C-alpha cells in the first residue's frame, strides 16, 4: 500500500472536523475524495501532507509511519500537493514557472550559483529539459514562453499541476483541480491526469466537486460527510449508493 491513512481525527477548539477516517491509495490508482462543503476533505489533505497534525490516528507511506512530518519533509519523500487557489508567478513565463517548481531538485550552493562549474551547468541543463518536458506533458507546449498572466483559467490549472510535477512527486494530491473550469477544460484536465500515471507519478489523490470528471478518471472514490467517511468504492458503486445520493441531494431525492 503506497498511502495508508488509519483512523485519523482532527478537532479544532473542541469541534470535530474529521472523525476516525481511514482510506488508502495504491500504486497505479487515481482516488477521489468527495463530499459536500465542510465534509473534512481538505483537512484530510492537510493531515496527509503535514500541514496540520491529527488529534488521533496515523499516516503511513510505503509502510513507514510519517504522521505529522512537515510539508517539506513529505515533499522530499515524494508527496506533493496543490491548493484550491492557483499559486503561480504571473510575471514569469509558463516555462519559468515550471522551472521554479524544480527547486527541490537543485543542489547548487549559493557560491556555485555565482561561479558555476561544469557540474552546475549540466544540472541546469537537465532541469531545463525536465521543465520543458513537463510543459509539453500537460498540453501547454504552445504556451511555453507566454507570461502566466495571459493564460485562461483552464490553462492556469494545468500550469499549477505542471509546477507541482517539477518537485518530482510519486504521490500527487490535487485540491479541486477542476474548480472554475468549463466542460471542455475539465475533459482536457482529465486526459492529463490519466497520462500522469504513465510517468514518475505512481498515484493520484484528489479532492474534487466536478462529479463528471471524478467518475471518468477515478479508480476508487471515498465519500465524506460531516467529518466522517460515508462510503468507499468504484465509481459505479458510489453513483448508486443511497446514502451518497442523500448526502448530495437530500432525503427527498
Concatenated DSSP letters for 86-133? ----TTSBHHHHHHHTTGGG----HHHHHS--HHHHHHHHHHHHHHHH
Identify the band that residue 221 occupies on the pLDDT scale cut at 50, 70 and 90: very high
Cβ proximity of 235 and 62 under 8 Å: no
63 burial class (0-12, 13-18, 19+ CB within 10 angstroms)?
exposed
For residue 125, is pLDDT > 90? no
Q: Report the SS3 class of residue 123.
A: helix
For domain 3-83+154-249, the question of CATH label 3.40.50.300 is answered with yes
248, 34 contact by CB (below 8 A): no
pLDDT score at 148: 95
Q: Is the dihedral of CA 148, 142, 189, 24 positive or negative?
A: negative
* In the chain, where the domains are located: 3-83+154-249
pLDDT given for residue 162 in this prediction: 94
Q: What is the pLDDT of residue 113?
A: 44
Mean pLDDT (whole number) for 228-234: 96
Chain position carrying cell 498540453: 139
Q: Calculate helix-pair angle for 118-137, 153-165, nearest 10 degrees.
A: 140
User: Comparing 105 with 154, which gets the higher pLDDT?
Assistant: 154
pLDDT of residue 109: 45
Which phi and psi (to 5°) does residue 250 adopt? Answer: 95, 160
> What pLDDT score was predicted for residue 251?
54
Residue entry with cell 503561480: 88
Query: Percentage of residues in the chain with pLDDT exceeding 70?
Result: 90
**Average pLDDT over all residues of the chain:** 90
Closest CA to 159 of 179, 137, 191, 176: 137
Check pLDDT > 60 for residue 252: no
How many beta carbons lie within 10 A of that of residue 184, not counting itself?
9
* CA R_g for the chain: 19
In the chain, % of residues over pLDDT 90? 75
Is 195's pLDDT higher than 80? yes
Amino acid at each position: 500500500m503506497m498511502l495508508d491513512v488509519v483512523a485519523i481525527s482532527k478537532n479544532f477548539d473542541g469541534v470535530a472536523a474529521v472523525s476516525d477516517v481511514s482510506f488508502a491509495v495504491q500504486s497505479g490508482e487515481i482516488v477521489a475524495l468527495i463530499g459536500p462543503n465542510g465534509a473534512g476533505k481538505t483537512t484530510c489533505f492537510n493531515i496527509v501532507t503535514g500541514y496540520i497534525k491529527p488529534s488521533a490516528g496515523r499516516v503511513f507511506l510505503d509502510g513507514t509511519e510519517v504522521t505529522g512530518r512537515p510539508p517539506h519533509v513529505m515533499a522530499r519523500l515524494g508527496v506533493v500537493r496543490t491548493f484550491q487557489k492557483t499559486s503561480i508567478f504571473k510575471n514569469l513565463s509558463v516555462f519559468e514557472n515550471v522551472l521554479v517548481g524544480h527547486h527541490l531538485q537543485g543542489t547548487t550552493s549559493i557560491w556555485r550559483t555565482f561561479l558555476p562549474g561544469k557540474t552546475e551547468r549540466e544540472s541546469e541543463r537537465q532541469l531545463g529539459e525536465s521543465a520543458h518536458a513537463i510543459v509539453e506533458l500537460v498540453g501547454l507546449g504552445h504556451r511555453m514562453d507566454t507570461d502566466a498572466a495571459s493564460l485562461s483559467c483552464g490553462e492556469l490549472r494545468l500550469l499549477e499541476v505542471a509546477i507541482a510535477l517539477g518537485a518530482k512527486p510519486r504521490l500527487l494530491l490535487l485540491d479541486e483541480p477542476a474548480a472554475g473550469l468549463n466542460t471542455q477544460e475539465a475533459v482536457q484536465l482529465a486526459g492529463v491526469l490519466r497520462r500522469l500515471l504513465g510517468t514518475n507519478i505512481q498515484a493520484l489523490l484528489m479532492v474534487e466537486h466536478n462529479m463528471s470528471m471524478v467518475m471518468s478518471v477515478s479508480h476508487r472514490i471515498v465519500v465524506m460527510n460531516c467529518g466522517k467517511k460515508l462510503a468507499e468504492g468504484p465509481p459505479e458503486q458510489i453513483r448508486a449508493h443511497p446514502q451518497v445520493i442523500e448526502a448530495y441531494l437530500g432525503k427527498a431525492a
